[in-house]
Amino acid sequence: MPTVLRWAKFAVAAALAVTALVYLDLVLRARSAYLEGERFLEWHRDPEAKKSHFEAEFQRESRRLDAEKSAGRLSEPEFLQRMELERFRRDEAVAESSVKYAYHWYKTAVELFSPPESRWVRLSREKMALTKDLWKQELDRRKIPYEEYMLE
């Protein structure tokens, strides 16, 4: 009988540990999604910071491609093609709507990482309404037609 009791205690402890780890994982993922939303919302307020970020990424990637070309792993035509692709990626990232991405990161925190109703989920839920309104205003300003279902 003592062996059965010991195993039962172990099983309960293991179940509690797994539950705690799952809870912690969900809270940390919600926090990460919230912080990504905050980053994109900040870029909406300060487009130059967004441009600087993606320019720095472009410079980092172009140095890497340059090193590959110098080492002989890339031919000249392939190098030029990959550089053009990196320019395209940079330009598209800068042109994309920051507020759209902020909304979707907040939505991710709310829909994928709750329950539990953590601090980050509550903050994301509050910011979702704000960013969705900002996104609609941006679409209206650009005269881009949309239906409500398209924003989900």
- Which among 38, 36, 29, 43 has a CA at the least distance from the CA of 111? 29
| pLDDT (0 to 100) of residue 1 | 60
The dihedral over CA atoms of 44, 48, 54, 59, expressed in degrees to the nearest 10, equals 180
Query: What does the pLDDT look like over 46-91, one tens digit per residue?
Result: 999 999 999 999 999 999 999 999 999 999 999 999 999 999 999 9
* Average pLDDT of the residues in 21-33: 96
| pLDDT (0 to 100) of residue 152 | 85
pLDDT at 5 > cutoff 80: yes
Q: What is the pTM of this model?
A: 0.83
**Whole-number Å distance between alpha carbons of 91 and 73:** 26
pLDDT at 4 > cutoff 90: no
**Whole-number Å distance between alpha carbons of 104 and 137:** 16
One-letter amino acid at 49 equals A
| pLDDT (0 to 100) of residue 92 | 97
